[in-house]
Amino acid sequence: IRFKDSVGLQMIPCCTTKQIRIDCPRSAPKFALMLKILSMIYKMVQSNTYATKRDIYYSDTLLFGSQSVVDNIINDISCMLKIPRRSLHILSTTKGFVAGNLSYTEEDGTKVNCTCSATAVTVPSNVQGIKNLISHAKFMLIVEKDATFQRLLDDDFCNKLSPCIMITGRGVPDLNTRLLVRKLWDTFQIPIFTLMDADPHGVEIMCIYKYGSVSMSFEAHHLTVPSIKWLGLLPSDLERLNIRKDVLIPFTKQDQKKLASIQKRPYIACQPMWKKELEIMAASKLKAEIQVLTSLSSDYLSRVYLPNKLQFGGWL
């Protein structure tokens, strides 16, 4: 896998292959499971039916042993055949939400309007099939956590400042949420900002949206949006806003390890401003959730922080 600025992490064409042999005691069970899943895929393609990864696992839990075994084999098959998971008739379970100035038609003809501000719409399970996308949004905001997303919805953030689209993958984003972010960017070409916790985990999630993940690098062209900008919560914001030290959380050993590994990644080298922020985080050994802004005032995030950032270009 190599890093390419315009695409993110992508698989190189002449990559090394992984051998799974039927005559080797260690890889024979994996070979058998792979054939089993391939036969299930073949039947689904023939009958034009679909299943989720969970459906496949629950069709024979004793045989597969765990969900991760199924997930890894499906990734391998998708990578080997160089086709997206949906072409294998395997659906990803969706956990993401979308709200704001957006309407579209689903593959089966259902019209979806995300503009009703009180509730969010679940990200569609077939992103490739949606059409007639209409939006007057000026920007898109990716929110790391569900709680922050709901809070911004309650504060009517999508309409107050200027029309926008808000999306959350509720933590590490699933495939459909990433596909939707990419589809919206391809369709509307509007700026995309991320609102994450100021901790290594938040930075990691943001990197998945922007540069992709190693496990899905063979699908990078459909999934990554290299133009994504880091809006907040920046480690430098904590000092600038005089956030009290007692509301910040000390680093764990795991946080330190994750941050060190992110700092070594090839894409951080071409982001000097990000590099600086990660150095601030590493030096302070403190992390902050977006919720720390409530220590300033209960609606500080939607009333002061985000409007100021967006108006004065406070992103990286």
Place of tokens 């045989």: 63
Structure confidence by residue, pLDDT tens digits, 305-316: 898 888 888 888
Extract the tokens encoding 286: 């403190």
pLDDT at 55: 85
Cβ within 8 Å of residue 32, ≥6 positions away: none
- The answer on pLDDT for 12 being more than 70 is no
Q: How would residue 4 be classed by pLDDT, with cut points 50, 70 and 90?
A: low
pLDDT at 140: 92
58 belongs to the catalytic site: yes
The β-bridge relationship of strands 192-195 and 249-250 is unpaired
Task: Give the percent of the chain with pLDDT over 70.
Answer: 91
Structure confidence by residue, pLDDT tens digits, 35-56: 999 999 999 889 888 888 888 8
Structure confidence by residue, pLDDT tens digits, 135-156: 898 999 999 988 888 888 888 8
56-80 b/e with 16+ CB inside 10 Å = b?
Answer: bbeeeeeebeeeebbeebbbebbbe
Mean pLDDT score of the chain: 84
- The answer on pLDDT for 233 being more than 60 is yes
Dihedral angle computed from the Cα positions of residues 226, 134, 102 and 116, in that order, rounded to the nearest 10 degrees? 170
Distance CA 163, CA 141 (A): 11
Pick the catalytic residue: 58, 209, 267, 305? 58
pLDDT at 159: 81
pLDDT at 23: 76
233 upstream amide cis, omega within 30 of 0: yes
What integer is the mean pLDDT of 200-205?
Answer: 90
Cβ within 8 Å of residue 3, ≥6 positions away: 9, 10, 211, 265, 266, 267
Q: How would residue 5 be classed by pLDDT, with cut points 50, 70 and 90?
A: low
Q: How would residue 244 be classed by pLDDT, with cut points 50, 70 and 90?
A: confident
Structure confidence by residue, pLDDT tens digits, 76-124: 888 788 777 778 888 777 789 999 889 999 888 888 888 865 678 888 8
